[in-house]
């Protein structure tokens, strides 16, 4: 198949999943064309079946906001026509699905017998729960969903939220996030511990784009409580709007020597491989890809019952799930994992097994079957 993938290039789960999907499809022999504003952060090395089309936005003094969505639509139309794409897969409803819709309209006269390509849209989370919840954006998100030929959501939770909020005309297919366990596995390297100045401390980790839904302040508060009863160190990977507040809190609590702000890193496996517990106290999370990647590396997760976490984290087996904001509860469970090595080992092993149920190859097959159904018009 010839597949176009439109995604955010920035540090975040939807861009990661879109890129990993495209790479896996290309390895299976499909031709994949990526569309984004800059190279997606996980795109990596050259592959003969992968083409990347940078969307250049026109800047003109009259336009206060550059028209990325329109430039993307033009680019999709051009590439879809000349490369004869079968499917354009929009990751995140806004603006990708809308731009692809517009591209289809641009091509209307060129592909008279049928639509030039089928439009697949994957809903990732905040496109529904944050953007879709915004009154000013609701109608545009609804249009993107209803005009797609097929829609997937990354969890049952997100499907249910989408149905509740938009009552879409079409059935939504759930295809969960996935992880390549040939790349994500525990490979502890002492050099990393040395480079980070870690001696015998237990390592707590968090990875995200530091948006408000991630509750970064709760992470610092949990860690502050943990540090009173355990010898611990916190690795914070990623960056975003809540980072400054987190730095202020770390200073206020006098934790500066125990917290490492590592910024946006692509190769997270070496860090996950030295981690003992991942903290994900999000107040909304459609799936939580970072947690699945941590589990593949044998890291139990202390997260919230919010959103999609309960669909792949079994409390007591792969970590623990508490109510959002329950700092005391999350501290207690993290401490349990950090202090009882046998329990930690059992959870760590169970996490690795659970991650294998979300193996890239299995879920990519589901996407291929989904494209095939779209092309067959069923
Ligand atoms: O907010 C983020 O973490 C980024 C966001 C994105 O769109 O890049 O992630 C969403 O998509 C991921 C991949 O499907 C999911 O694993 C995340 O749970 C989801 N984030 C939220 O729902 C907050």
- Residue 309 in contact with residue 158, Cβ under 8 Å? no
* Pure H helices in 230-315: 243-252, 269-272, 289-296
Q: For all residues of the chain together, what is the average pLDDT?
A: 95
Q: Is the CB of 40 under 6 A from ligand 1?
A: no
Looking up tokens 């200073």 gives 251
pTM of the entire predicted model: 0.95
pLDDT of res. 272: 98
Q: How far is the CA of 156 from the centre of ligand 1 (A)?
A: 14
pLDDT of res. 3: 98
Q: How far is the CA of 16 from the centre of ligand 1 (A)?
A: 9
Mutate to test the pocket of ligand 1, among 287, 296, 313, 360 (most ligand atoms within 8 A of CB): 287
Question: Are β-strands 301-304 and 277-280 bridged in parallel, bridged antiparallel, or unpaired?
Answer: parallel
Those residues of the chain that have pLDDT short of 70 are: 113
Q: Is the CB of 288 under 6 A from ligand 1?
A: yes
Q: Is the CB of 238 under 6 A from ligand 1?
A: no
For 8, list phi and psi in degrees, rounded to 5. Answer: -75, 140
Q: How far is the CA of 198 from the centre of ligand 1 (A)?
A: 30
- In tens, the pLDDT along 65-105 reads 889 999 999 999 999 999 999 999 999 999 999 999 999 99
Number of H helices, E strands in the chain: 14, 13
For 170, list phi and psi in degrees, rounded to 5. Answer: -105, 160
**Distance between CA atoms of 289 and 348, rounded to whole angstroms?**
17
Token pair, residue 256, equals: 């500066």
- In tens, the pLDDT along 155-166 reads 999 999 999 999
Q: Is the CB of 287 under 6 A from ligand 1?
A: yes
List strand residue ranges (DSSP E) for 59-208, in order: 87-91, 118-123, 150-153, 172-174, 202-207
Q: Is the CB of 13 under 6 A from ligand 1?
A: yes
Considering just the CA atoms, what is the radius of gyration of the chain in Å?
A: 21
Burial class (CB in 10 A: 0-12, 13-18, 19+), 49: middle
The domains of the chain, with CATH numbers, are 2-178+359-376 (3.40.50.2000), 191-356 (3.40.50.2000)
Burial class (CB in 10 A: 0-12, 13-18, 19+), 243: middle
- In tens, the pLDDT along 330-361 reads 999 999 999 999 999 999 999 999 999 999 99
Q: Is the C-alpha dihedral spanning 109, 115, 117, 121 positive or negative? A: positive
pLDDT of res. 63: 82
Q: Is the CB of 306 under 6 A from ligand 1?
A: no
Give nearest CA residue, ligand 1 atom 4. Answer: 12
Q: Is the CB of 92 under 6 A from ligand 1?
A: yes
CA-308 nearest atom, ligand 1: 18
């Amino acid at each position: 198949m010839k597949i176009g993938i439109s995604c955010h290039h920035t540090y975040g789960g939807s861009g990661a999943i879109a890129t990993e999907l495209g790479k896996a499809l290309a390895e299976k022999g499909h031709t994949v064309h990526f569309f984004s504003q800059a190279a997606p952060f996980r795109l990596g090395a050259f592959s003969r079946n992968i083409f990347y089309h940078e969307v250049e936005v026109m800047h003109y003094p009259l336009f206060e906001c550059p028209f990325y969505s329109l430039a993307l639509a033009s680019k999709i139309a051009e590439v879809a026509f000349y490369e004869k794409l079968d499917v354009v897969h929009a990751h995140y409803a806004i603006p990708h699905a809308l731009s692809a819709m517009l591209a289809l309209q641009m091509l209307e006269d060129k592909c008279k017998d049928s639509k030039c390509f089928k439009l697949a849209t994957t809903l990732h989370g905040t496109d529904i729960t944050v953007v879709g919840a915004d009154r000013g954006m609701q109608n545009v998100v609804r249009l993107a969903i209803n005009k797609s030929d097929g829609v997937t959501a990354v969890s049952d939770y997100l499907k249910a939220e989408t149905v509740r909020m938009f009552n879409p005309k079409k059935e939504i297919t759930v295809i969960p996030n996935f992880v390549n366990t040939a790349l994500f596995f525990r490979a502890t390297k002492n050099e990393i511990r040395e480079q980070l100045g870690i001696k015998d401390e237990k390592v707590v980790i968090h990875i995200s784009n530091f948006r408000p839904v991630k509750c970064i302040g709760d992470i610092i508060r949990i860690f502050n409580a943990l540090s009173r009863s355990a010898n611990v160190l916190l690795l914070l990977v990623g960056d975003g709007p809540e980072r400054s507040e987190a730095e202020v809190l770390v200073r206020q609590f006098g934790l500066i020597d125990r917290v490492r702000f590592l910024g946006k890193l692509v190769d997270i496996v070496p860090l996950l491989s030295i981690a003992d517990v991942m903290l994900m106290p999000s107040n909304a999370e459609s799936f939580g890809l970072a947690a699945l990647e941590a589990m593949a590396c044998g890291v139990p997760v202390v997260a919230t019952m919010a959103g999609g976490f309960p669909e792949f984290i079994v409390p007591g087996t792969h970590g623990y799930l508490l109510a959002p904001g329950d700092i005391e509860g999350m501290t207690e469970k993290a401490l349990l994992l950090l202090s009882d090595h046998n329990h930690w080992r059992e959870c760590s092993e169970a996490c690795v097994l659970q991650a294998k149920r979300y193996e890239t190859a299995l879920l990519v097959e589901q996407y291929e079957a989904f494209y095939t159904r779209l092309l067959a018009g069923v």
